[in-house]
Amino acid sequence: MAGKIAILGVFVADTAYRAERAPRMGETILGNKFALGPGGKGSNQAVAAARAGGEVHFISRLGQDDFADMALKTWAEAGVTAAVTQDPDSFTGAAYIFIEEASGDNAIIICPGAAGDISVTDVEARRDLIESAAVFVTQLEQPMAAAERGLSIARAAGAKTILNPAPAAEIPATMLALCDFVTPNESEAEGITGVAVHSISDAENAADVMLSKGVGAALVTLGEQGVLFKDRENCTHIPAMVTGPVLETTGAGDAFNGGFAAALAEGKDPVSAARFGCAVAGISVTRAGTAPSMPTRDEVDALLAANPII
């Protein structure tokens, strides 16, 4: 039986704008398409993990507004159990997402709102939930002190701990030492290690630096090149899974992290779990949106069956 997954993070309403290019400062341009939908790294990861079959509990703060209603509806539909505090004196977060039409690449500005006030006290209030989890996941969109406290509680209770270090930030060594798994992309890996990541070999070098800082294992996500997994015994490159034309890469990292957490909670070994995460991400990038792009478990299983390990 799969274990429980506790995720600490942020929900924001995504306002997504598609255009040929980003405007320059002081310039107004016409876009091609606009969409409003649920987002936030932690929330996206919770939805991805739940749709992939995980028992997911999401810890966060919301305002009391229309965007909060969107969050609660999104989680209910995905099967995520909400462990949230609603603050009538703040607002639910929002994000501006620019998507380049030709490539699907993105640039993002996040205003976390009430979730920006997530505190160590909030995390302590969910101690029982975190301690009962098989896997604990967090990111860096909420205050770092809260993330570090969550990792500390989870580590002491024997949960597998995952830090998705996004957005990029300087992370204290004490926090990295609490992480069984750290899952940066190329730029985030460089921020942690000082190693510029332009290739699989660079990713391996960056992973070595993370291991030297006390991380249990590093998983550097490399976009269309897949993922580089490295711990103290094993170094494996896991290729990306191509499932169709790339429409939008915005939620790919969250899809990977949610899938990886769900697979770990089922008892899969880390490399197999990373491959599962690649399958979740590979499907998500063929669809628009972040949380709405996350695939079902049946879709992930079908893709893995069609791409057996050779």
Residues involved in catalysis: 254
Burial of 287 (0-12, 13-18, 19+ CB in 10 A): middle
Burial of 25 (0-12, 13-18, 19+ CB in 10 A): exposed
Q: What phi-psi label fits residue 13: left (phi over 0), alpha (psi between -120 and 50 degrees) or beta?
A: beta
Residue with structure tokens 């897949």?
Answer: 226
